[in-house]
Chains A and B, each alone.
Chain A
Amino acid sequence: MVSPEVHHLFHHPIADHSFSADRQTLAVARDNQVELYGRSGGKFILQDELKGHDKTVTSVDIALTTGQIVTCSQDRNAYVWEPSPTGWKPTLVLLRINRAATFVRWSPSEKKFAVGSGARIIAVCYFEEENDWWVSKHLKKPIRSTITTLSWHPNSVLLAAGSTDAHARVFSSFIKGVDERPESSVWGERLPFNTVCGEYLNNSSGWIHSVAFSPSGNALAFAAHDSSVTVVYPSGPEQPPLAVVSLSTQLLPFLSLIWNGESEIIAAGYDCEAYRLRGSEQGWQIVGSMESKGRPGLGEMREESALNMFRQMDLKGKGARDDTVLKTVHQNTVTTVRVYEGVAGGVRKFSSSGVDGRVVIWTT
Chain B
Amino acid sequence: MVTANWRTINIDLLDPESSANFPVSSLLPTLPQVSASEVQTLSGQIRQLLRGGDTEGALRGALENAPYGGDVGAKEIHLATVSEILQSIKASDMSPLLSRIYNSENGPETLDVLMKYLYKGMAHSSPPSNPSSKMLTPQTTGFSQIHSRGGGEGGGQAMSVLLSWHEKLVEIAGAGSIVRVMTDRRTV
Evaluate contact between A250 and B184: CB separation under 8 angstroms.
no
Evaluate contact between A166 and B27: CB separation under 8 angstroms.
yes
User: Is the CB of B112 closer than 8 A to any CB of chain A?
Assistant: yes
Q: Which residues of B contact A203 (CB under 8 A)?
A: 109
Q: Which residues of A contact B29 (CB under 8 A)?
A: 201, 205
Given A144-B19, A248-B109: A205 and B179 within 8 A (CB)? no
Q: How many positions in chain A have a CB within 8 Å of any CB in the partner chain?
A: 23
Evaluate contact between A226 and B27: CB separation under 8 angstroms.
no
Q: Which residues of B contact A249 (CB under 8 A)?
A: 174, 176
Q: Which residue of chain A is the closest to B22 with respect to CB atoms?
A: A144
Q: Which residues of A contact B184 (CB under 8 A)?
A: 204-206, 226
User: Is the CB of A227 closer than 8 A to any CB of chain B?
Assistant: yes
B166-177 vs A, Cβ < 8 Å mask (1 yes, 0 no):
000000011111
| B contact patch SS | helix
Q: Which of A242-257 contact B (CB under 8 A)?
A: 248-253
Evaluate contact between A251 and B174: CB separation under 8 angstroms.
yes
| A contact patch SS | loop
Contact of A225 among B174, B183, B186 (CB under 8 A): B183
User: Is the CB of A153 closer than 8 A to any CB of chain B?
Assistant: no
Q: Which residues of B contact A165 (CB under 8 A)?
A: 24, 27
Could you list 18 further interchain pairs (A-B, Cβ under 8 angstroms) beyond the known A144-B22, A144-B27, A203-B109?
A120-B19, A166-B28, A201-B27, A204-B183, A205-B28, A205-B29, A206-B179, A206-B183, A225-B183, A226-B184, A227-B180, A248-B109, A248-B176, A248-B180, A250-B176, A252-B175, A252-B176, A252-B179
Q: What are 14 A-B interface contacts by the 8 Å CB criterion?
A: A144-B19, A165-B27, A201-B27, A201-B29, A204-B186, A206-B180, A206-B183, A206-B184, A207-B183, A226-B176, A228-B180, A248-B176, A248-B180, A251-B175
Hey, which bits of chain B sit against chain A, CB under 8 A? 19, 22, 24, 27-29, 108-109, 112, 173-177, 179-180, 183-186
Hey, which bits of chain A sit against chain B, CB under 8 A? 120, 144-145, 165-167, 201, 203-207, 224-228, 248-253
